[in-house]
A and B are shown apart, each in its own frame.
Chain A
Amino acid sequence: MPLLEVDDVVVQFGGVTAVNHASFEAEAGRITGLIGPNGAGKTTCFNVISGLQRPTKGAVRFNGRTVTRTPVHRRSRQGMGRTFQRLEAFGSLSVRDNVRVALDIHRGFRGIIKPSASDIDGLLERVGIRSYADDRADAIPTGTARLLELARCLAGAPKLLLLDEPSSGLDETETDDFGDLLEDLAAEGMGILMVEHDMDLVMNVCDTIRVLDFGEVIAVGDPSMIRSDPKVQKAYLGYSDVDVDKEPVA
């Protein structure tokens, strides 16, 4: 049974259908790519999965349980972590305190009684932003802030990571390191569902890919299949060639 199942989800905003009968899944220990042109409904899917958006129709199952109506924080406690395309770092706090808050929340009441001290710098080290530890989170570069959001998620030791365009703002070496990190995390058994515009990264690290267009899943397969799928090429045509489609300028 897959770790995450999105089952026939529909999301409508007034007259706009952002997600249109989308079904897909993500497995533990694997990296699943979710790609599609701008406005395809990827972020909306993430919001539905994490509970920030109630679907008009359809269901979400996580870890064997239906969570369609479960509140956001409870899904997180069941092992869902996510990052945001539009950053949601705690701007008034330092980078270290961002992670500290995440750890304290994760530890719940124990966190309030006995605040966490260790682990934090280890997490920052792991995502490679240790040198920013004392900076205010609203004064660090975008790419760094995305890594911070990842570190914050990892503090909760999630079973499933939802990453929304995590590599935008990173340079090439940073992106490579980031890809390695994702592979390590997956090897540890974490399921990763990633929305990403950087096709090189997607093709390199993803075990399997789902393509979304106008809210519908139009293709499913491993990177080589996706690369040659005519429907995918058509969806991307007019944006740029599928193979070299880099993150559009932020």
Chain B
Amino acid sequence: MDTFIAFLIPGLFTGAAYAIAASGLVLTYTTTRVFNIAHGAFGMVLSFVFWDLTIRQGLNVVLSLFLVLFVIAPLIGFIMQRLITRGLGNAPVGVSLVVTVGMFVGLIGFAQQYWPEDRIEPEAPRFVPPFWLTFADGDGVPGWQVAGTSITGLQLITILSSIVVAVGLYLLLNKTRIGTAMRASVDNPELLRLFGGKPDNAAALAWMIGMSLAALTGILLVSVVGLDYFGLTLLVVNAYAAAMVGRLKSLPMTFAGAMGIGVFESLAIGYSTDSPLLSTVRPAIVPIFLFAVIVLAPQAQLRIGQVKGMVSAPVPSIPRMGIAGAATLLVAALFVTTASDVRLLQLGTAATYAIVMLSLVLLTGYGGHVSLAQLSFAGVGALTYAKLDEPNLSGLVMATLVAAGVGALVALPVLRLTGLYLALATLAFAVIMEKVVFKSPDLGFGSGGAVEVERLSILGYRFESTGAYVFLMVAFMVAIGMGVLVVRRGVVGRMLIAMRDSPAACGTLGLDMRWFRVGLFASSAGIAGLAGALVAGLRRLTGEADFIFFNSLPLLLLAVVFGITSVTGAVLGGVGLMLLPVLQAETVNVLGSDVKLGGLMFMVIGIGAVLAARDPNGLSNYLFRFGRFLERRLRARIVAGLPQLTTPDGLAADGLTDGRTDGGADETAVHEPAPTGVPLGKVVSDGAPARG
């Protein structure tokens, strides 16, 4: 019993902290319908701010606390709502996910850049002392003795804070006008406006309070967790689970869920010393719990009335595709025969990332589903390939199939759910893979370990030289890229895009989207798995560090920035992601002092994604537009130069000059809105509510 209580009290403490975080998350979600993946990252940055004020600047603790909680955090919340998340609740959930993931990565980058880990400041230790560190009983143990265990001042403060937050939120939501507006605005913003409410003010207030709560959580936990960019940020996964218990709307249930998770986790930690199984699974308890709550979530009804027409990347004709593919291979061949080994490894890495991004073109670009675990699927592929130890085509096929199977396994339990839930399920999966499976010595690579991998041989030919192997990788990339385009041109591609544009219409036309979605997830995971197997062979050594969860996020973001709806975007994105660590290692000279680019690159990516999220066609779309412009100019010039030819069509192979093959999907740039109507994407309701 005594040990039970000894485990219970720290559980109540962490539970209380999770409750504070989760209530902020729920508040912003119910009011604005934006699930803030970056909630934890904001908490992390704000606790760094707190540390900066108190330890680095030497400001009074209470004053700093006041500044962070009641000035800086609300201000940031207000700015975020006004500049970034406004109107996001009505956009497809994929958009708000990318925006908040963008903020997540950008904030990590900001913290790394502004408070770099390797900066030595003897007068400012990277450490926040716990509040109210008293040795009241004089027994040398901090805190008070209660029932044979001790409660520290910090624990007491945290539990009290959570009660204050709970009561405060209850009063706000139930006893004030603006609180009523906050509850109403998610149900029916138009109705609220009708009665004179201002949904925008309610949204801003929700973000301000949410941000303060994130800061409070971070500051309460920082003395325990340490000033750790990732550790503090990822604590929020626990808050996600708690918020899911409350179905993203009930605050009491969220509090109960948070307490339950805190206590359960603490008991598991306490008792795991006796049980080897429990101690391996322990880090995955919360993500498994998150997954379970998601699976139990009630079926979401198909949403109607969102912005349509997301995909505008051109669909090249078959000849054009062939030429682009052949050109890529030719350039790769030239490169491979001349480049140094370092460059070769870089190209191979770029090809790997490009293939993983191609898997996202299928899943996210066409299908509209967001996966936060694409590198984990790649890890499954690498692991399978390494463990099978069959360095030939059948090993590669097995790696692909196993990854596809795992992808299906993630999507199956959430068959009934879509959007946010599916994305959170992939997040839970990625954390489980990182914390448990990849670390496991039997199943995975072993903790901190790596596995040796042999390079592929096909039909007896062994791709032993790095040059040949990299060329093979590029060939795979080209083949998959073409495969994706062939799918896009066909029935399945049209259906994917239809599902992305309007799930409701697909349903009422008779499409059972559930199995389609599982198939889509499986194919996408399979492609990522193939990439993983290939890169394992390239490096000849693969380990858990290659497939940590966080790395899937910049990958997703870069894919969006470069254009997640096109193969071109994926290839460019692959190169971009390969260059990322190269650039991060650079130092530039700013005003006479050397500055490392480390975190800055994450900031650039994060901001880029926030800007690009609303148009997932990304940078490559500008490239396409420019290409079309050039083509038109060129065609006109050739026609003018050769007056004897009467038909311009005879000039070039038509497949080359005519990019539009699939219903003019690439002609957005030249479409004028028809004179009598409003373009569909911007149609405002004829008097019906947003989701009427």
Residue numbers of A with Cβ under 8 A of B are 13-14, 16, 38-39, 43-44, 47, 50-54, 71-77, 80-82, 84-98, 100-102, 104-106, 111-112, 115, 134-145, 149, 152-153, 155-156, 165, 168-169, 171, 247-248, 250
Contact = CB atoms under 8 A, between A and B. Distances in A.
Nearest to A115: B491
Given A84-B304, A91-B308, A92-B310, A142 B188 contact: no
B673 A93 contact: no
Contacts of A54: 301
B500 to A, nearest CB: 7
25 contacts: A16-B191, A52-B301, A52-B508, A71-B507, A73-B510, A85-B686, A86-B305, A88-B502, A89-B502, A90-B308, A90-B501, A90-B505, A92-B311, A101-B494, A104-B495, A105-B495, A105-B511, A138-B308, A139-B673, A140-B674, A141-B675, A143-B676, A144-B677, A250-B678, A250-B686
A105 B510 contact: yes
A70 to B, nearest CB: 12
Nearest to B494: A101
A238 B114 CA distance: 62
Interface stretch (B269-277, B637-645, B663-671): B663-671
B309 interface: yes
Contact of B663 (A47, A93, A112): A93
A74 to B, nearest CB: 8
Interface in B207-256: none
Contact of A134 (B504, B507, B664): B664
A139 B492 CA distance: 23
Given A82-B508, A101-B509, A139-B674, A115 B304 contact: no
Given A87-B683, A94-B664, A141-B674, A76 B494 contact: no
B494 A100 contact: yes
B188 A93 contact: no
B309 A88 contact: no
Given A53-B301, A112-B492, A139-B673, A89 B680 contact: yes
When A and B form their complex, which 6 residue pairs have the shortest distance between CB atoms, in order from nearest?
A91-B309, A141-B677, A94-B663, A138-B309, A91-B308, A76-B510
Contacts of A89: 308, 501-502, 505, 680
Contacts of B188: 13-14, 16
Nearest to B683: A87
A115 to B, nearest CB: 5
Contacts of B312: 92
B225 to A, nearest CB: 39
Contacts, number: 200
Contact of A43 (B498, B665, B688): B688
B663 A97 contact: yes
Interface of B: 184, 187-188, 191, 301-302, 304-305, 308-312, 490-492, 494-495, 497-498, 500-502, 504-513, 662-665, 667-668, 671-681, 683, 685-688, 692
Contacts of A51: 507-508
Contacts of A135: 664, 671
Contact of A145 (B491, B494, B664, B680): B680
Given A52-B507, A136-B665, A139-B668, 14 more contacts: A14-B188, A38-B688, A51-B507, A81-B509, A87-B308, A88-B504, A91-B310, A98-B498, A104-B494, A105-B506, A138-B309, A139-B679, A140-B674, A156-B510
In this complex, the member of A74, A90, A143, A169 whose beta carbon has the largest number of chain B beta carbons within 10 angstroms is: A90
Contact of A137 (B309, B504, B511, B672): B309
Given A14-B187, A85-B692, A90 B502 contact: yes
A156 to B, nearest CB: 6
A73 to B, nearest CB: 5
A168 B688 CA distance: 13
A106 B677 CA distance: 30
B674 A144 contact: yes
Nearest to B312: A92
Which secondary structure dominates chain B's binding surface?
loop
Contacts of B490: 115
Contact of A104 (B491, B513, B676, B680): B491
Which secondary structure dominates chain A's binding surface?
mixed
B677 A140 contact: yes
Contacts of B692: 43-44, 85-86
B666 to A, nearest CB: 9
In this complex, the member of B301, B504, B686 whose beta carbon has the largest number of chain A beta carbons within 10 angstroms is: B686
A152 B510 CA distance: 11
Given A84-B504, A88-B502, A52 B677 contact: no
Contacts of B504: 52, 72, 84, 88
A76 B674 CA distance: 32
A112 B510 contact: no
A52 B664 contact: no
A92 B665 contact: yes
B421 to A, nearest CB: 17
A120 to B, nearest CB: 11
B664 A92 contact: no
Nearest to A89: B680
Contacts of A76: 507-510
Nearest to A247: B686
A93 B491 contact: no
A114 to B, nearest CB: 9
A21 to B, nearest CB: 20
A89 to B, nearest CB: 6
Contacts of A137: 308-309, 680
A209 to B, nearest CB: 20
A86 B526 CA distance: 37
A142 B508 contact: no
A84 B184 CA distance: 25
Contacts of B676: 141, 143, 171
Given A86-B683, A88-B502, A101-B494, A136 B510 contact: no
A188 to B, nearest CB: 20
Given A52-B302, A86-B304, A138-B681, A111 B491 contact: yes
Contacts of B305: 84, 86, 88
A250 B682 CA distance: 12
A97 B494 CA distance: 8
A138 B667 CA distance: 12
Contacts of B662: 94, 97
Contact of B677 (A86, A111, A142): A142
B669 to A, nearest CB: 11
Given A115-B491, A168-B686, A88 B304 contact: yes
Nearest to A91: B309
A153 B506 CA distance: 11
In this complex, the member of A86, A105, A143 whose beta carbon has the largest number of chain B beta carbons within 10 angstroms is: A86
B172 to A, nearest CB: 18
A13 B301 CA distance: 13
B683 A77 contact: no
In this complex, the member of A73, A75, A112, A153 whose beta carbon has the largest number of chain B beta carbons within 10 angstroms is: A73
Contacts of B507: 51-52, 71-73, 76
A156 B509 contact: yes
Contacts of B506: 73, 101, 105
A168 B677 CA distance: 11
Given A43-B692, A105-B506, A136-B668, A141 B304 contact: no
A194 B211 CA distance: 47
A134 B663 contact: yes
A50 B491 contact: no
Given A89-B308, A92-B497, A139 B680 contact: yes
In this complex, the member of A81, A94, A111 whose beta carbon has the largest number of chain B beta carbons within 10 angstroms is: A94
Contacts of A152: 505, 509
B512 A93 contact: no
Contacts of B674: 139-141, 144
Contacts of B513: 73
A153 B490 CA distance: 21
Contacts of A53: 301
A100 B492 CA distance: 11
In this complex, the member of A13, A80, A81, A89 whose beta carbon has the largest number of chain B beta carbons within 10 angstroms is: A89
